[in-house]
């Protein structure tokens, strides 16, 4: 052994062990950081999903309240309260959730900003969504028109109007004869002095203008499962059983040209959405009933024109016209039970009604027309993480 070199091996061994220790410590620290980063990423994702769930919960509540007519400041305050936060945290059933903070505000008419902030362990995510309610207040009306609504009758020939439900015009509501409405009456313009409401209801002139969905006949044609070039082809299809209705949603049918209601007497039309690229004529000569059944039926057309010589009853029917709904030549009783009539661009005319017209809105709601018109649209969406 070389003199003076006896301790080199020991020193080298110590240095080597120290280097190994430092390397292993670095690897361990790096692994720990990777594990922590991965865990933080997973926790952040969980926080995001819970925050998104909170926003969707609030949106569902808002849309339901809109359908039921309960969407007001008190409702929004309740939705933003600590009680709702506690309910959501309990519903998520995850002990790692530290806090849930749901907040809903309405900065402008019919727009709602929903944000939900969730802290999960050390991760925090905030999801914010702004939605706008489309056509608010329209679907609770038994009659609604972009133009005037005239409710005049011919009492000498037994004329009478009975409306059980709310009505609205984006112009004026008039009548030359005294008419009592069993519901709220509102108009962007004026309401004539002969129009009154029964106890518990209100009459409002200068009301906020309602918006009406556009009727795009080409789009309804494109989505229709059954297309007919004329009314006769459609009636033949109904008679032969060619048209098969869905069990979950309505079946779309498109008819090019005018359509006469009398021709579907006794035929099954329940759960149909019938688009008529023309006018619907009510000119039956014998008593008849058009029943949409439990799923209801929707008629969409250019105009609705009456010239009926015998009684007709519509049950579970919604009628939406692009232009006018004209009852001017109504010669026999007409009843609309559990449904509504809307005129997108024109008027609803009940002038010189010679028999009894009864319209009862009933208990249907937006969910019966959700296949036709969107209830809301998303204005913005964002996600922030900490």
Tokens 């809307």 map to which residue? Answer: 342
- 145 and 16 housed in the same domain: no
pLDDT, mean over the chain: 89
Distance CA 141, CA 220 (A): 23
Q: Which residue has the higher pLDDT, 278 or 42?
A: 278
Q: How confident is the model at residue 386 (pLDDT cuts 50, 70, 90)?
A: low
State which of 76, 102, 133 marks the end of a domain.
Answer: 133
- Residue 2 included in any domain: no
Q: Are residues 174 and 101 in the same domain?
A: no
Residue 199 structural domain? 141-362
Residue 153 domain flag: yes
Same domain, 162 and 120: no
Identify the residue with better confidence: 318 or 107. 318
Bigger pLDDT: 176 vs 360: 360
Same structural domain, 179 and 114 = no
Residues 184 and 129 occupy one common structural domain: no
**Quick one: 177 and 247 in the same domain?**
yes
Q: Are residues 266 and 128 in the same domain?
A: no
- The answer on 345 and 202 residing in a single domain is yes
Same domain, 211 and 350: yes
Q: Does residue 3 lie in a domain region?
A: no
Judged by DSSP in three states, 307 sits in coil
What span, in angstroms and rounded, lies between the C-alpha atoms of 155 and 66? 39
Query: Which residues, 6 or more positions from 144, have their beta carbon under 8 angstroms from its beta carbon?
Result: 138, 167, 168, 169, 210, 212, 340, 341, 342, 343
The answer to the question of residue 380 being in a domain is no
- Average pLDDT of the residues in 291-299: 86
Is there a single domain that holds both residue 272 and residue 324?
yes
Is the same domain home to 154 and 270?
Answer: yes
As beta bridge partners, residue 224 has none
- Whether residues 41 and 118 share a domain: the answer is yes
Q: Domain for residue 147, yes or no?
A: yes
Average pLDDT over residues 234-262: 88
In-domain check, residue 386: no
pLDDT at position 253 over 80: yes
Give the number of domains in the chain. 2
Of 133, 165, 184, which one is at a domain's C-terminal end? 133
Residue 14 pLDDT exceeds 80: no
Residue 372 lies in a domain: no
């Amino acid at each position: 052994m070389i003199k003076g070199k006896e301790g080199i091996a020991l020193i080298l061994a110590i240095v080597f062990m120290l280097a190994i220790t430092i390397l292993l410590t670095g690897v361990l620290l790096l692994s720990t950081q990777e594990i922590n980063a991965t865990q933080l990423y997973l926790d952040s994702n969980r926080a995001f999903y819970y925050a998104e769930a909170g926003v969707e919960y609030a949106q569902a509540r808002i849309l339901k309240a809109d359908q039921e007519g309960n969407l007001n400041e008190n409702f929004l305050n309740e939705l933003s309260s600590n009680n709702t936060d506690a309910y959501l945290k309990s519903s998520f059933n995850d002990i790692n959730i530290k806090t849930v903070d749901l907040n809903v505000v309405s900065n402008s008419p019919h727009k709602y900003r929903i944000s939900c902030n969730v802290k999960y362990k050390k991760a925090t995510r905030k999801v914010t969504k702004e939605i706008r309610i489309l056509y608010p207040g329209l679907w609770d009306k038994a009659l609604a028109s972009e133009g005037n609504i005239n409710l005049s009758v011919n009492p000498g020939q037994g004329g009478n109007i009975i409306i059980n439900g709310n009505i609205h015009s984006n112009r004026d509501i008039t009548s030359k004869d005294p008419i009592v409405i069993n519901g709220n009456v509102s108009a962007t313009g004026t309401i004539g002095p002969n129009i009154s409401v029964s106890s518990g209801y209100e009459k409002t002139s200068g009301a906020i203008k309602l918006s009406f969905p556009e009727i795009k006949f080409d789009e309804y044609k494109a989505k229709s499962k059954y297309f007919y070039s004329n009314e006769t082809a459609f009636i033949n299809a109904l008679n032969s059983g060619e048209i098969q209705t869905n069990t979950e949603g309505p079946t779309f049918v498109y008819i090019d040209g005018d359509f006469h209601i009398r021709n579907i007497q006794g035929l099954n039309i329940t759960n149909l959405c019938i688009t008529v690229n023309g006018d619907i004529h009510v000119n039956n000569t014998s008593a008849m009933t058009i029943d949409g059944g439990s799923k209801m039926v929707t008629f969409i057309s250019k105009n609705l024109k009456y010239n009926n010589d015998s009684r007709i009853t519509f049950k579970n029917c919604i009628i939406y016209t692009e232009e006018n709904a004209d009852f001017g030549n109504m010669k026999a009783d007409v009843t609309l039970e559990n449904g509504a009539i809307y005129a997108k661009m024109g008027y609803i005319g009940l002038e010189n009604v010679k028999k009894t017209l009864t319209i009862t809105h009933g208990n249907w709601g937006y969910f019966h027309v959700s296949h036709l018109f969107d209830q809301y649209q998303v204005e913005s969406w964002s996600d922030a993480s900490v």
